[in-house]
Amino acid sequence: MDLDTTNLVVLILALLISITIHEAMHAFTGYWLGDDTAKLEGRISLNPLKHIDPFSTLILPIITTIAFGIPILAAKPVPFNPNRVKYEEFGAALIAVAGPLTNLVLAILSALFLNILNPSLISNTYLWIHAFVQLNVALFVFNMIPIPPLDGSRVLYAFAPEALQNVMAQLEQFGIFVVFGLILLVPQFTDLLVNIDEAILRFIT
């Protein structure tokens, strides 16, 4: 999709929808597991203003999509109290995986909807929905990278031995820079993410 003014607006709207539902599901899952921390902060909400950060949620993904072909972004983290969540590390893993799985479900549902559209008759609508599918698959893949503080690291942490858990805890504060460094400086890592994206897209479309 060419990133002209109209398509940039569509991209921003798609990001707002995808990120908002992603973060709301983190918050809802935490509440479902017994922790009302996020609920008290108003994060079980479909109001995008509750979840977005102007730079990391809106500006950064547009820049990285133009430069590298994949959106790199982050919303405001959803807080939770690990001492109040059921099932300890596994509860935290459920909270973490709820967001990326939501993006995957959005992608699958949108891909199913594409099957009833005729791309030759409603070309712009078709392309925009297809872009929404691609965006949500990319969000799923990116967030499931098992490096702190991304969601995938919480899943790995729940099953990791104590020694690896300690390493991951130390990596938490600056791990996102490791992720960005891998994406920007290690072509093989970026190629791996793109290949996973494409494999999932082929499967669901």
Which tens digit of pLDDT belongs to each residue from 112-152? 998 887 766 667 888 889 999 999 999 999 999 999 989 99
Q: How many C-beta neighbours within 10 Å does residue 129 have?
A: 19
Report d(CA 15, CA 62) in Å as an integer: 10
Report d(CA 166, CA 76) in Å as an integer: 24
The percent of residues in the chain predicted with pLDDT above 70, rounded, is: 93
CA-wise closest residue to 69 among 5, 145, 131: 131
Q: In Å, how far are 59, 133, 146, 189 from 184, measured between CA atoms?
A: 17, 24, 17, 9
Q: What DSSP string describes 189-205?
A: HHHHHHHHHHHHHHHH-
Please indicate, yes or no, whether the overall pTM of this predicted structure exceeds 0.75.
yes
Match 């990391």 to its residue by tokens: 56
**Choice between 179 and 61, residue whose per-residue pLDDT is larger:** 179
Is the pLDDT reported for residue 1 higher than 80? no
Is residue 198 annotated as part of the catalytic site, yes or no?
Answer: no
Q: How does pLDDT run across 36-93, given as a tens digit for each residue?
A: 999 999 999 999 999 988 887 778 777 777 776 666 667 888 999 999 999 999 999 9
